[in-house]
Amino acid sequence: MLTQEILERYADVLVWGLTTARKEKFKKGDIVLIQFDLPALRLAEMLYAKLIDRGMNALQRLSMTSFMEHHFYSRAKAKQLLFIPPGERELYASLNGRIYLHAPESLTHLADVDPAVIARVQLSRKFLRDIFNEREDQGLYAWTLCTVPTKDMAKQAGLPLDDYERQLIRACYLDEQNPVGKWTAIYREVGEIKAWLNSLPVRSFLIVSQNVDLRITPGEKRKWIGISGHNIPSFEIFLSPDWRGTEGTYYANQPSFRMGNYVEGVRLRFEKGVAVSTEAQKGQDFVVKQLAMDKGAAQVGEFSLTDRRFSRIDRFMADTLFDENYGGEYGNCHIALGSSYSDTYSGNPAELDKKKKRVLGFNDSALHWDLINTEPKTVTAELTTGEKILIYENGEFCY
């Protein structure tokens, strides 16, 4: 199914995503890293050629295999776990772009590893992500990512590999002769919805479904963003709220594969912005230790809604990139525990230093974990005028 022609289209869409995501234009000589899992080698080679042809300096990095990851997390000593290779900081501070090709050979290979060990490694590398975030705010860097199907992903989603690949092709509009043109059109159309949402003087959002009763406070100087090129595919529209105003109950009815672990049925209760109660039908220990990673891990960094009219994804895909953009019958919403996105700041993100983030309630954490709910729901905006308006119902924005 993933023929040479389809992969060429995929590579073109990824280049579109990367260039669209950056605030400043790419120029010849810019440094772009292609990071990929081994099953994505063919796509990595195509991307490498396209970047070289554009005059960029393309770098390539193969991610650890599932065997390597398991050996590392289960056998490495404390100093090895926290080891940062020489030159890593300098590389991150020099990159202008990064494309990640996600193609995991296994989704559950770390299930027997202590989740606290995984969290410790994530926390030790947070400073590298902070470098990327700062460069992105300055317009010096952009990123995008995609998924290349593997047998285990299809197995965990309950689909034959051919059907899984068909889902991906449809979701990314790779069955179109000009998928880049299609994505450009969606980008413009969704821009109208974002403009409408950003025109509303909202005090809070109330999300209600069978298992969700949650209040989200957007906070000052926020804006809705989305379909920015960062993820392929991406149909979500989201903001990073003031974490301090989160109150109520949230339930993720979609399972989640994260860091080699499987989690199902996560239920969270928030008081004064913090998840004070955490339950999971499966993976409880992993969830608890992820949320204990640092102070911000039990706080909300993102609130997102997907309009089903744009997304062709109608199956569970065992991959957050697809599942957080699920269209189906009722669309989806998700919250992300952990870090926030500074580009949802309505001012110049380059001005958003750590002190200003704290004042405005932008959450900070080494964690960013999307938890997805696909139940039929309503989202009501309470305006600063006291008026209440329905903005989202049964998977569609009421625009």
pLDDT tens-digit profile of 142-178?
999 999 999 999 999 999 999 999 999 999 999 999 9
Q: What is the mean pLDDT of the chain?
A: 97
Residues above pLDDT 70, as percent of the chain: 100
Q: Phi and psi for 237 in degrees, rounded to 5?
A: -120, 130
Which distant-in-sequence residues (6+ apart) come within 8 Å of 277 by Cβ?
Answer: 267, 268, 269
Contact 144, 229 (CB under 8 A): yes
For residue 236, the one-letter residue type is E
Confidence of residue 392 (pLDDT cuts 50, 70, 90): very high
Residues above pLDDT 90, as percent of the chain: 98
Q: Which pLDDT value is given to residue 36?
A: 98
Long-range own/partner contacts, residues 248-252 (CB < 8 A, 24 or more apart): 248/212, 248/213, 248/214, 248/215, 249/211, 249/212, 249/213, 249/214, 250/207, 250/212, 250/214, 250/335, 250/371, 250/373, 251/211, 251/212, 251/373, 252/334, 252/371, 252/372, 252/373
**The whole model's pTM is what?**
0.95
Q: Which pLDDT value is given to residue 217?
A: 98
Residues 217-276 have pLDDT tens digits of 999 999 999 999 999 999 999 999 999 999 999 999 999 999 999 999 999 999 999 999
C-alpha triplet 98, 100, 102: angle, nearest 5°:
175
Residues 74-132 have pLDDT tens digits of 999 999 999 999 999 999 999 999 999 999 999 999 999 999 999 999 999 999 999 99
Strands (DSSP E) along 261-385, which ranges? Answer: 261-263, 266-271, 274-279, 300-306, 332-338, 368-373, 378-383
Confidence of residue 350 (pLDDT cuts 50, 70, 90): confident
